[in-house]
């Protein structure tokens, strides 16, 4: 991908703006879920972090990343949140790569500018949780999916599988996103003989199946020590939906009230 000098300067300027807006307030007081992450996982031994899924509050991969930054930089709010901020900035770069491949230079830079000052993106980049990590892994997986379908290779599809596993290890909700990848792939595969799908030879290449398989296998291996706890945690959340407060919170119609 050829990048002109002006585009490169614009990209750097947007990233600097994004970094400034996320650094300001990074050391603000922690809220409940962040405190829970710190006291139950970041301060715990690595072995406990890897084998404790008694709560969905353990964003496994993020807990390990935060533990590393706190160990290196000392315990503070900004050190706890640093991985989230870095992933937030990284997500802009991945979005730029995706946008350049499908929308062109100007629309992509405009989208990046909007995202760099987006309240929700800034907020999650200052939240010691794994959500910006999920954004990076799912976005990077999307980019690799597109590239793998256009130019199938073992390297690209291995990278796709690793991104799937990393996203799932960060938070299981990433599974909905990757399920949509599988659904789109299956629909496209059924219509693979269509002329408009000719630029995607990966639909007819075994390496695409390999990529999905790697993602599933790595996800299973990472969660193998936690299998019983994962089922228990999901079941606990499912049962809590019967309470009036939880039922209201999970209702898809609540925004219409």
Q: Which of these, 252, 55, 36, 51, lies nearest to 127 by C-alpha position?
A: 36
| Res 244 pLDDT > 80 | no
Are 170 and 62 contacting, i.e. CB atoms less than 8 angstroms apart?
yes
**Whether residues 18 and 108 fall in one domain:** yes
Q: Indicate whether 251 belongs to any domain.
A: no
pLDDT at residue 253 tops 90 = no
Short-list 101, 92, 88, CA closest to 145:
101
pLDDT of residue 219: 95
**158 lies in a domain?**
yes
Structural domain for 175, as ranges: 130-226
| C-alpha to C-alpha distance for 158 and 215, rounded to whole angstroms | 8
Q: Are residues 35 and 48 in the same domain?
A: yes
Residues 207, 97 within the same domain = no
**Cα R_g (the chain), whole angstroms:** 20
pLDDT for 239 equals 67
Flag whether pLDDT at 238 surpasses 90.
no
Whether 121 and 161 map to the same domain: the answer is no
Shared domain check, 134 and 68: no
What is the domain count for the chain?
2
Q: What backbone torsions phi and psi does residue 205 show, to the nearest 5 degrees? A: -120, 135
Where would I find the H helices in 74-130? 77-102, 105-116, 119-125
Q: Are 38 and 90 in contact (CB under 8 A)?
A: no
**Residue 107 confidence (pLDDT) above 70:** yes
Confidence of residue 251 (pLDDT cuts 50, 70, 90): low
Cα gap 174→58, rounded to integer Å: 14
Does the pLDDT at position 179 exceed 60? yes
Instruction: Say if residue 104 is in the same domain as residue 197.
Output: no
pLDDT digits (tens, 9 = 90+) for 58-71: 899 999 999 999 99
Q: Is the residue at 256 inside a domain?
A: no
Distance CA 161, CA 80 (A): 28
pLDDT mean across residues, the chain: 90
In this predicted structure, the answer to whether residue 124 has a pLDDT above a threshold of 50 is yes
Would you say residue 35 has pLDDT above 90? yes
Residue 250 lies in a domain: no
Q: State both tokens at 241.
A: 């939906």
Interatomic CA distance for residues 231 and 227, integer angstroms: 6
pLDDT value, residue 255: 44
24, 126 Cβ separation under 8 angstroms: no
User: Which has the minimum average pLDDT: 48-57, 130-139, 231-240?
Assistant: 231-240
Contacts of 67 (CB under 8 A, 6+ apart): 41, 42, 46, 49
Confidence of residue 247 (pLDDT cuts 50, 70, 90): low
The pLDDT of residue 122 is above 90: yes
Q: At residue 230, does pLDDT exceed 90? A: no
Same-domain status, 25 and 134: no
Tell me what pLDDT residue 150 has. Answer: 93
252 in any annotated domain: no
Instruction: Say what the pLDDT of residue 235 is.
Output: 72
């Amino acid at each position: 991908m050829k990048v002109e000098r002006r585009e490169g300067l614009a990209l750097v300027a947007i990233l600097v703006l994004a970094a400034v807006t996320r650094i300001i307030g990074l050391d603000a007081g922690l809220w409940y879920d962040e405190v829970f992450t710190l006291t139950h996982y970041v301060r715990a031994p690595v072995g406990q972090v890897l084998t404790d899924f008694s709560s969905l509050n353990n964003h496994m991969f993020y807990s390990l990343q935060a533990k590393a930054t706190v160990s290196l930089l000392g315990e503070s709010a900004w050190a706890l949140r640093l991985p989230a901020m870095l992933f937030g900035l990284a997500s802009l770069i991945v979005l730029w790569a995706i946008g350049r491949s499908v929308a062109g230079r100007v629309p992509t830079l405009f989208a990046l500018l909007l995202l760099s000052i987006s309240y929700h993106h800034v907020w999650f980049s200052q939240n010691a949780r794994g959500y910006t990590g999920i954004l990076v892994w799912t976005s990077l997986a999307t980019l690799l999916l597109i590239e793998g379908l256009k130019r199938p290779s073992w390297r690209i599809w291995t990278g796709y599988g690793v991104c799937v596993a990393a996203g799932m290890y960060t938070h299981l909700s990433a599974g909905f996103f990757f399920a949509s990848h599988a659904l789109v792939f299956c629909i496209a595969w059924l219509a693979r003989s269509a002329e408009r799908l000719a630029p995607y030879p990966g639909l007819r290449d075994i390496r695409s199946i390999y990529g999905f398989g790697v993602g599933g296998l790595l996800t299973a291996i990472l969660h193998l020590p936690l299998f019983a706890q994962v089922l228990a945690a999901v079941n606990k959340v499912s049962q809590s939906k019967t309470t009036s407060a939880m039922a209201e919170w999970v209702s898809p119609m609540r925004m219409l009230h």
